[in-house]
Amino acid sequence: MTQAAITFVTGGSGGIGKSTAARMLAHALGSARLRTALVDGNPGQQSQRAWLNIPDSKALEYALVDGLQSALVRPRDTGGMFALLAGPADPHSRDMARDYLESIIGLRAMCDMVVVDADRVDGRLWDDPASFAGGVMRPMVEAGGARILFRIGQSGSQTDDGLAALDAIRRPDRIRAVAVAPPGVKPWPARRWHALLDGLAEYGGVDVWDEASRRLVDSHACGWGHGMEPDWLRGACVWMGADPDAWRSAEGRGRSWLPWSRTR
């Protein structure tokens, strides 16, 4: 039985493209022929539900009642190379952390990869078992072998908040940090990021938002075409365990092959 790699996509502040990155990551992994599930792990915002136009009839709680197979939104409905587990119908449920934990553990036995679009994290949330960060992400990272793909901006507050969050988590063996350069801003050199992230996270490159990125988002696409992914995204896939050879040739890797067309 497969035991999927679980990766939480988060950051120390808002507005750095966490949900977009999580969706792109799930799409890239699916395009690399890995059976991938994307979990909407921001219960208050539920960006994936809004972006993918998922109805309220699909919700986290129903996975515990009707089973994961019936709760998942399949690729034909997400428009990407991944299945989606939507967020909770009741974002204030006292059982939310338990529901997420049980569902993600269930997905781990069904998939090759699980990507969780998580809310921001800071030291207070990391220490709070009632929050998603403290009640779901932390136990799965510390005891369940999960990893964190951490988005960090290069403006003053985004950098400071990100570094403070990484310092609170203190799991450099489990964290890969991707810098984010907004449109028109020159990316910081890698040596600067290596110095800032020393002892906090592995440096995973920079996501440069340019005209191609804008067109991709404006087209409402779930991700890049296979073989066209930027270096930071391809590197994140390999870091999660994807075969680097999956990108040697993009031929035959399109939507004609859907990883969720078979059952286990």
Mean pLDDT value across the chain:
90
Mean pLDDT of 36-65: 90
With a pLDDT cut of 70, the percent of the chain lying above it is 93
- Residue 252 one-letter amino acid: G
CA 82 to chain centre: 12
| Rounded (10°) angle between helices 156-169 and 190-197 | 40
Domain 5-240 is in which class?
A: alpha beta
Per-residue DSSP letter, 74:
P
User: Helical H runs in the chain?
Assistant: 18-31, 47-52, 60-66, 68-71, 75-78, 96-108, 123-126, 132, 138-142, 156-169, 190-197, 211-218, 231-240
Per-residue model confidence as pLDDT tens digits over 54-91: 988 898 998 888 888 888 999 988 999 999 999 998 88
Domain boundaries, the chain: 5-240
Mean pLDDT of 32-46: 92
Per-residue DSSP letter, 224:
P
Mean pLDDT of 26-43: 94
Rounded to two decimals, the pTM is 0.93
As a whole number of angstroms, the distance between CA 37 and CA 85 comes to: 7
Residues linked to residue 5 through DSSP beta bridges, in sequence order? 113
Mean pLDDT of 165-172: 97
